[in-house]
Structure 1
Amino acid sequence: MSLAQQISALPAPLLKRLHDRGFEAPRLARWAATLGVERDARNRLPGRVEPPAPDDIAAAPVEGTAEHGRHRERGLAALSAGEVALCVLAGGMATRMGSVVKALVEALPGRTFLDLRLGENAHLEALASRPGAHVPLWLMTSEATERPIRDALGPRLDGARCATFEQNVSLRLTPEGALFLDEQGEPSVYATGHGDLPDALRRSGLLARFLERGGKTVWIANLDNLGATVDPAILGWHLDHGDPLTVEVVDKVGADRGGGPVRWNGKRIITEEFRLPHGFDPGAVPVFNTNTFLVSAAALDALAMEWTYVEVEKKIGDRKAIQFERLLGEITAALEPRLLRVPREGLASRFLPVKDVPELERRRPEIEAIARARGLLG
């Protein structure tokens, strides 16, 4: 039976579930046809790739300077005008924390990651001087995290000030290109990555309603990076420079690895390290991407691009499965970014990722200090 026939034979409720979340059977068939042939060609950037130029990376405004004060006032004005939405990537399961929903893990005693993001949202609304101004909080969830997060939010989930929307899904394949079936003989559904955000956000209707109300900027950050709070001075810097996209980067330290900025055929982009051409030295890139983006809402709504879905091999039980994912940083191929180097140390740190329990335990003092300093604890 061909892959197309396998998909057509799936139960109608499953097909509806898939298509409601962006699944396209012809696209999966095209991917299946390249298995074992083009993985490296698909995953790596073609053409000329060079390190970023020295003047490609700007420094964040320093608190206490006139520049910082000027940008902060611009950012506060945008918050007060209701022109900013905070979009948090909350689709992940904390596989290294017991495979629970990461949003509901206690980042601090008695306070989950979700609690702290809600605290940030309340603090931002307090900063806005105009009565009634609010900063919408949008959480991009996955099928696995949507219901638990909605249950945790309860009545706060009003669709206006607080809302969730689900990312896309697809079906895993065997290395031979057939549907991968789990131990129960069912197709294996997975989320296709945080690059789903532009499509999923448009599908939700949240972006269109935000634009209708005069919304201008969407601030995107990882749930588990509690350093990446909305900073009025950085917001003002982004607005004052007038480009559709700003990406926060931090200096590499020691053996740091990760995606970062390069020049691709002369153009600034963000890319993952595994997408660099053979022979390119990642050490030539002095900073890496924090996955914090400030993007024009209008540009995000109008974004039209051909996404690269990278091929990834996964171990499901004792078997190999293939899935195709896209990465949010690739929006820089369509919207050339400004790159802003931000601090990663002390109370000014904007990079506090938490991937497992030991890292969370180690970072808790930093997280608590920053949460108190930035109003996340209410």
Structure 2
Amino acid sequence: MEAFEEKMKAEGLSQAAIDAFRLNYEQLVAGVTGLVPEKEIEAIEELPRLADLRSKSVGDIKGLLAKTAVLKLNGGLGTSMGLAKAKSLLEVKDGKTFLDLIADQIEYTRTKFGSKVRFVLMNSFSTSDDTKEYLSKSHADLINEPDVELVQNKSPKVDAKTLKPATFPEDPEQEWCPPGHGDIYPSLLGSGMLDRLVDAGIEYVFVSNSDNLGATLDVDLLAYFAETKKSFIMEVAERTAADKKGGHLARRLADGRLMLRESAMCPDDDKAAFEDISKHKFFNTNNLWVNLPKLKAKLEASNGVLQLPLIKNKKTVNPRDSSSPPVFQLETAMGSAIECFDDSGAVVVPRERFAPVKTTNDLFSLRSDAFKASALTCYFAQGQGTAHQSSSKNVTEAHTVVLAAPKGPLVKLDDKHYKLVDKMDALTDAVPSLVHATSLTVRGPVRFVKGTSIAGDVLISNESSEPVTLPPQAYKDSVTDLTPAKVPATA
């Protein structure tokens, strides 16, 4: 550990970052598996639901917002989609990027409630420059605010054979990796931002991913969080068959605390129970509410380190060269902090609050008419400062992207031709209408042009290597083969 500490200090990393890495490294060396058998937990049967909170008065929203910060995780490059810049700078809707929409949402909230809610972007060493440059041009008022940027730490990669610091003289930057979004806690502490926010009277922080446009600041959730005085609340959604491989919320029998159990934490003998969505009903949306004074007290009581479970990822030191030396990247997840507090809670939210863009399939769907920019109708009860929603008057644009269809379409584009954003864009002159689509499957290179609509379940294929344009028309519950020299058959 001494070699790692020396390396991290030379890089200018804080003591909080070093201490957090030390905990992870100690778990690695000790061979901690992190396995959580079914017999050690109980399933969560019922939780408060956001829909039920809507009917309650939310009180002095302006006062609550003055004590609130919105923190967006913005450290991802979107490399799996072929991006080399901050993922949040990707255009997603109506000519706007994720970052544009997030900034618009903040400005909307401030204008609507007359309260300057704080805004923080947690950038990584890879996204900081791009993000600040974009904000300075498009949203200069935000970039000039105090503490608008929290820079994520970086962790040294661990040589998988020696457990010493990995070295890669050809490109020393490859010796470092992101520490996972669990780094939010040592970053807040080590940067001094936690103290500055608390000293400025900020009590509540809403944390979410920048690629999840459904994760907006919800005043009903804020009011509930403040009223319950809990340290930590997680927004969860109901698992479906598509989510059975992912993690779930549970309660640990040993201490009665809520916890997250990911697939890697489940013994093989318990896989059937893990995937039983009728038993383990809820998954983490990664939308979190944290009480900052209580977080500060917890960190002070635990020597500046939250005891988060280790996530051990085995990679190669150069991720683009599988023959380069194997390394471990040590990470943590911010949602795991739910088990660090006796009074943690969870609220069941609608699925639309969890709409991350992880693949070009997600992006293709989001750019279609299956999603729209929402408009909320708001008025205030005189003398109470209480916000309500209505559907008939005083419409104001919320800059929120919401589902316009009964259910989001399942889009499966051919990875060989659409996995990277630039390749998808080259084949998409115009995204087809998907508002009535159940599923769209594309095999081979198919070019989409304006005037195309999809309804029901549609399969389109082209077995050749050259792109073929799909004739612009309506396709419903059909199979269309565009392969040249074949007679197109639409059933």
TM-score, structure 1 as length reference:
0.83
Q: Structure 2: give runs of 5+ residues left out of the alignment.
A: 300-305, 377-396, 402-491
The 1:26/1:299 distance shift into structure 2, 3 A limit, reads closer
Equivalent-residue separation in structure 2 for 1:78 and 1:26 (angstroms): 32
1:49 partnered with 2:40:
yes
The 1:353/1:34 distance shift into structure 2, 3 A limit, reads closer
1:95 partnered with 2:79:
yes
Tell me the alpha carbon deviations over residues 36-82 of structure 1, each in whole angstroms, 9 at most, x when there is no partner.
Answer: x72xx333347953243323x221135xxxx5243434545412xx0
1:78 partnered with 2:64:
yes
Q: Partner residue of 1:302?
A: 297
> Counterpart of 1:143 in structure 2: which amino acid?
F
For residues 89-168 of structure 1, the aligned pairs below 5 Å read 89-100=73-84, 101-129=86-114, 133-154=115-136, 155=140, 156-160=142-146, 163-168=148-153
Contact 1:116 1:371 in 2 (8 A): no
Q: Partner residue of 1:267?
A: 257
1:241 partnered with 2:228:
yes
- The structural deviation recorded for 1:238 is 1.9
Report the 3-state secondary structure (helix = DSSP H, G, I; strand = E; otherwise coil) of the residue aligned with 2:150: strand
The 1:124/1:21 distance shift into structure 2, 3 A limit, reads farther
- The structural deviation recorded for 1:260 is 2.5
Equivalent-residue separation in structure 2 for 1:6 and 1:70 (angstroms): 52
Q: Partner residue of 1:322?
A: 328
1:258 partnered with 2:246:
yes
RMSD: 3.0
Q: Partner residue of 2:10?
A: 16
- The structural deviation recorded for 1:258 is 2.3
Judge which range, 349-358 or 15-24, deviates more. Answer: 15-24
Report the 3-state secondary structure (helix = DSSP H, G, I; strand = E; otherwise coil) of the residue aligned with 2:51: coil
Q: Structure 1: give runs of 5+ residues left out of the alignment.
A: none
Give percent identity, aligned residues only. Answer: 22
- The structural deviation recorded for 1:106 is 1.0
The 1:185/1:228 distance shift into structure 2, 3 A limit, reads closer
Equivalent-residue separation in structure 2 for 1:73 and 1:148 (angstroms): 39
Higher relative contact order (CA 8 A, sep 6+): 1
Contact 2:249 2:260 in 1 (8 A): yes
Contact 2:214 2:400 in 1 (8 A): no
The 1:200/1:4 distance shift into structure 2, 3 A limit, reads closer
- The structural deviation recorded for 1:368 is 4.8
- The structural deviation recorded for 1:295 is 1.4
Contact 1:119 1:376 in 2 (8 A): yes
Judge which range, 228-237 or 255-264, deviates more. Answer: 255-264
Q: Partner residue of 1:337?
A: 344
> Counterpart of 1:180 in structure 2: which amino acid?
A
Tell me the alpha carbon deviations over residues 237-257 of structure 1, each in whole angstroms, 9 at most, x when there is no partner.
Answer: 222223222111111122213
The 1:166/1:21 distance shift into structure 2, 3 A limit, reads farther
Equivalent-residue separation in structure 2 for 1:219 and 1:360 (angstroms): 24
Contact 1:69 1:233 in 2 (8 A): no
The structure with the larger Rg is 2
Q: Partner residue of 1:206?
A: 193
TM-score, structure 2 as length reference:
0.65
Equivalent-residue separation in structure 1 for 2:168 and 2:40 (angstroms): 40
> Counterpart of 1:223 in structure 2: which amino acid?
S
- The structural deviation recorded for 1:28 is 5.5
Tell me the alpha carbon deviations over residues 280-322 of structure 1, each in whole angstroms, 9 at most, x when there is no partner.
Answer: 3222311110001111121122233333332211242113321
Equivalent-residue separation in structure 1 for 2:26 and 2:199 (angstroms): 40
Q: Partner residue of 2:284?
A: 289
- The structural deviation recorded for 1:206 is 2.9
Contact 1:171 1:188 in 2 (8 A): yes
Contact 1:352 1:367 in 2 (8 A): no
> Counterpart of 2:180 in structure 1: which amino acid?
G
Among candidates 155, 160, 167, match of residue 170 of structure 1: 155
Tell me the alpha carbon deviations over residues 94-114 of structure 1, each in whole angstroms, 9 at most, x when there is no partner.
Answer: 022213311111121421111
The 1:23/1:87 distance shift into structure 2, 3 A limit, reads closer
Contact 2:44 2:280 in 1 (8 A): no
